[in-house]
Amino acid sequence: MTKSERRKMYHGQNREKENRQMRQHAMDEKMQVIGHYGGKCACCGERRVEFLTVDHMAGGGSQHRKIIGGKIHRWLIKNGFPGEFQILCFNCNSAKALFGVCPHRRVTSNKMEDGTTRIANVDTKFHDDLAYPPTTGHKFTVVISVDAWVDLQERVLELVNQCRGNVDGLVMKYWLDILDGVVPSHIRLTRPDPITKMR
């Protein structure tokens, strides 16, 4: 019997054991990633592992998964847990992809004449979403206070320091604009600051 035949026979006899080990290893990697990024949905607080998934905060998750072969948890561990990711439950992640913002992140909203949605009363948890450029074709405007804008700038500064240049160029430009006082087009301040620039 050749080596190849022996290997094939072994895998055939131990298939269930190997599959069980692979599932356990994948779950261990997932738990490590979830634990690092806070252990719960960053939006609604859901903690049950079965409902949690990795979210690309700046979008582009499908394309990124294709590039890395779909093993997102292993990639995050190997690359030192980059700062541009978070944990969301499947509901919040789907809502963010479909509507640009999860309903949990707003209290009231009004349809504007141009078809965009004006979102008011944003809480501080929303800063991690605002800290990244909106997905292409977004149709919403976020209204925040000047104090919340300052908090957002502080959060962006943290992300710049964490990533140390290891981030998409468009995201870095977005961050540097915010740190320079440029308000993105999808954000409006409730009390415009005269020293703040509008894009």
- Co-location of 124 and 85 in the same domain: no
Tokens 């992640």, located at residue: 93
Q: Is the pTM of this model over 0.95?
A: no
For residue 34, the enclosing domain spans: 1-98
Which of these three, 67, 98, 129, is where a domain ends? 98
- Co-location of 44 and 81 in the same domain: yes
Number of domains in the chain: 2
Q: Which residues contact 54 (CB under 8 A, 6 or more apart)?
A: 33, 37, 61, 72, 73, 76, 85, 86, 87, 88
Which of these three, 61, 83, 98, is where a domain ends? 98
Q: Rounded to an integer, what distance in angstroms lies between the CA atom of residue 164 and that of residue 174? A: 15
- Co-location of 74 and 110 in the same domain: no
18: pLDDT strictly greater than 80:
no
Give tens-digit pLDDT for 63-114: 888 888 878 999 999 999 988 899 999 999 998 888 777 777 654 444 444 4
- Co-location of 94 and 129 in the same domain: no
Q: Is 122 exposed, middle or buried (0-12, 13-18, 19+ CB in 10 A)?
A: buried
- Co-location of 62 and 147 in the same domain: no
- Co-location of 85 and 112 in the same domain: no
DSSP-based helix, strand, coil % in the chain, nearest 5:
50, 15, 35
Which of these three, 65, 98, 131, is where a domain ends? 98
- Co-location of 27 and 74 in the same domain: yes
State how far Cα 40 lies from the chain centre.
13
Q: Between vectors from CA 178 to CA 146 and to CA 105, what angle results, nearest 5°?
A: 60
Nearest to 94 by CA among 127, 126, 135: 135
Nearest to 112 by CA among 143, 134, 148, 149: 143
The β-bridge partners of 13 are none
The β-bridge partners of 151 are none
Answer with the residue of higher pLDDT: 60 or 17: 60
- Co-location of 15 and 42 in the same domain: yes
- Co-location of 88 and 144 in the same domain: no
Give tens-digit pLDDT for 143-179: 777 877 888 888 888 878 877 666 667 788 888 899 9
CB 132 within 8 A of CB 107: no
